[in-house]
Amino acid sequence: MRVLTMLMSVLALLGCGGQAVASNAETVNLWPKGPPGSMGAMQAETTGNQPPFGYVTRNVSDPTLTVFRADPKIANGTAVIVAPGGGFHILSVDNEGDGVARWLNSLGITAFVLHYRLLPTGDDAALVLMRRLMNFKELEAAIVPLRPLATADGEQAMRYVRANAQRYGVRQDRVGMMGFSAGGAVTMWTALAGKADSRPDFVVAMYPGLVGDPLTVPGKAPPLLAIVADDDPLVRPESGRLVDAWKAAGADATLVTYPTGGHGFGIAKKGAASDAWTGRAQTWFREKGLLGK
């Protein structure tokens, strides 16, 4: 039964069925001189609709940001770097990336979808991920050398947006990160690093994949919103542990749970309680003063 539950969770994670980014979307290379570190030989990066798994990207070795500018008529100066999930094997680029960016745009927020570095995979990426989920120690071991690289990508994304804040019409002190599953881990690794020039001003951790990670909360930790479904078979306890650590350090943290939604619900409506998350996140943004100019 647990194997079936985890399989369904992976299918939910990947099953976004999205559409390609508009061809005129701006893409920024995060490391023009080449990224630091390497995962070794990689196949060519690919992005496409792969039924039944939806629209995904694989084999990211040269990290980028895809820019989604808010309409100037409603832009409020807030920026969010969005990190899609996919178990560090793929990126769920529409359900947890571009689709989320378009929703943020509707709130007047300028969004930047982060394509951080991934583990090298072949066409069997989903099967490899499934096997590693069945043997979680294998997945954890595979991620160990990737963590500093993906963290560096998150930090560089923060530096880039801040350095180019005027260009994008955003405020340097209102640049946050929102990550989903593995992207939630990248988001939290960036925040946990605690570096002044790359610390997010706020973080939204959507069912973050932080299983077993040590949580040493840095000084001046940013406000945190964590959202997860109670029936998430992969990371439900970790969201509570994350929020507890934040609060124990005297930092601002909010945990929102939904009875149904599983893992990987993203922006797509699934007829589950978790469909309400966008409204709750919008309320949190408003409470933190992020939706006004």
Looking at residue 107, its pLDDT comes to 98
CB-based contact 59:116 (threshold 8 Å):
no
Looking at residue 16, its pLDDT comes to 45
**Omega prior to 52 cis, within 30 of 0:** yes
d(CA 19, CA 94): 7
Identify the band that residue 125 occupies on the pLDDT scale cut at 50, 70 and 90: confident
Residue 10 has pLDDT above 70, yes or no: no
CB-based contact 147:189 (threshold 8 Å):
yes
Looking at residue 20, its pLDDT comes to 47
What average pLDDT does range 129-150 have in this prediction? Answer: 89
Residue 2 has pLDDT above 60, yes or no: no
Residue 103 has pLDDT above 80, yes or no: yes
What average pLDDT does range 5-14 have in this prediction? Answer: 51
What average pLDDT does range 64-92 have in this prediction? Answer: 96
Residue 22 has pLDDT above 90, yes or no: no
d(CA 55, CA 208): 21
Q: Domains of the chain, with CATH numbers? A: 2-287 (3.40.50.1820)
Residue 6 has pLDDT above 80, yes or no: no
Residue 18 has pLDDT above 80, yes or no: no
Residue 69 has pLDDT above 80, yes or no: yes
DSSP 232: -
Looking at residue 25, its pLDDT comes to 77
β-strand pairing of 110-115 with 64-68: antiparallel
Question: Nearest Cα to 186, choosing from 119, 114, 257?
Answer: 114
Question: Nearest Cα to 177, choosing from 194, 193, 196, 157?
Answer: 157
What average pLDDT does range 4-29 have in this prediction? Answer: 57
Across 260-281, b (16+ Cβ under 10 Å) vs e yields ebbbbbbbbeeebbbbebbeeb
Residue 55 has pLDDT above 90, yes or no: no
Identify the band that residue 13 occupies on the pLDDT scale cut at 50, 70 and 90: low
Strand boundaries in the chain, DSSP class E: 26-29, 46-49, 55-58, 64-68, 79-83, 90-91, 110-115, 175-180, 203-206, 224-229, 253-258
Residue 4 has pLDDT above 50, yes or no: no
Contacts of 117 (CB under 8 A, 6+ apart): 35, 39, 60, 61, 63, 146, 149, 150, 153
Identify the band that residue 214 occupies on the pLDDT scale cut at 50, 70 and 90: confident
What average pLDDT does range 194-220 have in this prediction? Answer: 93
Looking at residue 123, its pLDDT comes to 81
d(CA 210, CA 187): 10
d(CA 288, CA 175): 13
List phi, psi (to 5°) of 150: -65, -35
Per cent of the chain over pLDDT 90 is 75
Q: Whole-prediction pTM value?
A: 0.93
Q: 180: which strand partners?
A: 206
Residue 253 has pLDDT above 90, yes or no: yes
Q: How many CB atoms lie within 10 A of CB 39?
A: 17
Q: How far apart are the first and last CA of the chain?
A: 50
